[in-house]
Structure 1
Amino acid sequence: MSTTRQIVCGSCGRINRLPAERAAQSARCGACHQPMFTAHPIEVDEEAFSRHVASSDIPVLVDVWAPWCGPCRTMAPMFERAAQQLEPNVRLLKLNSDNAPALSSRLNISGIPTLLLMRGGREIARHSGTMDARSIVAWTESNLTRS
């Protein structure tokens, strides 16, 4: 019997079951037929954030940011480059803290940019401040290995 992984589509938000032996990089959503992974972070609202964190069998790396934040704008292309290296093993999300103040409060975000690494619906690591792409990848992989 084949085991499956649940992965949330970045385009339509539907939960897809992907056989473990199938390459996730080339997978398409069963509902909208869009690629499951595009090597780009996904902009999410509170609902999409919750769906990805609660329903995905792969780890989720979240960049909590705001458009007025200079360091956030500086780190954005670095987070984009990190997606090219981390997907499809990690889903990268961008959460605008201005558009989701209640969620930011629940997550205890006290400064931005903040990276949250989540697995199985819970936070396993956090980093506040900017990082370059190489550091984002190394930090993510290191924390995934430890948890």
Structure 2
Amino acid sequence: MESDDKTFIACRHCLAKNRVPKARLAEDPVCGRCGHALLPGEPVELSDANFDEVTRHTELPVIVDFWAAWCGPCRMMAPQFERAAAELKGRALFVKVDSDANPCTAQRFQVRSIPTLVKLNRGAEVDRRSGALPAAQIAAFAR
């Protein structure tokens, strides 16, 4: 469904499917229905409730960080994940899923250790990395 000059991005707030011109992806596009930022340049939280709608209906790569608040390596990697999200603003959507609070999604992706990064293409897994990574490696993984 991707056209040559536009791409779809699902809003994590209202789940509307937004068609955004590719030339404007880095210009802070907002949802046409609710007005929230679609690509904020920082990781966004997803849950069991909105994960599938957002990831399946977003045509950009989606980089998922499965983490938990009690996990030391997860907390160490969080600023690195934020840097990578800022670096790739408009080219990928970076999301965080708390594996304790969202066990259905974590279980479906068979997350056995955290942090685990999963790269998705329209909701389908295309790559995975486990363990804390620096921002440069996260950005390379996302490309």
So what's the TM-score if we normalise by structure 1? 0.87
In the alignment, the residues of structure 2 paired with residue 138 and residue 73 of structure 1 have an alpha-carbon distance, to the nearest angstrom, of 20
Structure 1 match to 2:65: 63
Alpha-carbon distance, 1:52 to partner: 1.7
2:9 match: secondary structure? strand
- RMSD over aligned Cα atoms: 1.7
Cα distance change of structure 1 residues 28 and 102 upon mapping to structure 2, 3 Å threshold: closer
In the alignment, the residues of structure 1 paired with residue 5 and residue 79 of structure 2 have an alpha-carbon distance, to the nearest angstrom, of 35
Corresponding pairs, count? 140
Alpha-carbon distance, 1:139 to partner: 2.1
1:87 match: secondary structure? coil
2:42 to 40, 43, 46: 40
The AA in structure 2 aligned to 1:45 is S
Instruction: Judge conservation of contact 1:40–1:80 (CA < 8 Å) in 2.
Output: yes
In the alignment, the residues of structure 1 paired with residue 138 and residue 16 of structure 2 have an alpha-carbon distance, to the nearest angstrom, of 27
2:49 match: secondary structure? helix
Unaligned runs of 5+ in 1: 142-147
Structure 2 match to 1:135: 137
Cα distance change of structure 1 residues 139 and 2 upon mapping to structure 2, 3 Å threshold: closer
In the alignment, the residues of structure 1 paired with residue 90 and residue 12 of structure 2 have an alpha-carbon distance, to the nearest angstrom, of 12
Cα distance change of structure 1 residues 113 and 32 upon mapping to structure 2, 3 Å threshold: same
Structure 2 match to 1:79: 81
Q: Which has the higher helix share?
A: 1
Percent of pairs identical after alignment?
Answer: 36
Structure 1 match to 2:53: 51
Alpha-carbon distance, 1:48 to partner: 1.8
The AA in structure 2 aligned to 1:54 is R
In the alignment, the residues of structure 2 paired with residue 110 and residue 92 of structure 1 have an alpha-carbon distance, to the nearest angstrom, of 20
The AA in structure 1 aligned to 2:98 is N
What's the CA shift string for 1:47-74, capped at 9, x where partnerless? 2211121111111000000000000000
So what's the TM-score if we normalise by structure 2? 0.90
In the alignment, the residues of structure 2 paired with residue 140 and residue 117 of structure 1 have an alpha-carbon distance, to the nearest angstrom, of 7
Instruction: Judge conservation of contact 2:12–2:46 (CA < 8 Å) in 1.
Output: no
Instruction: Judge conservation of contact 2:10–2:55 (CA < 8 Å) in 1.
Output: no
Question: Matches of residues 94-113 of structure 1 in structure 2 within 5 Å?
Answer: 94-113=96-115
The AA in structure 2 aligned to 1:48 is N
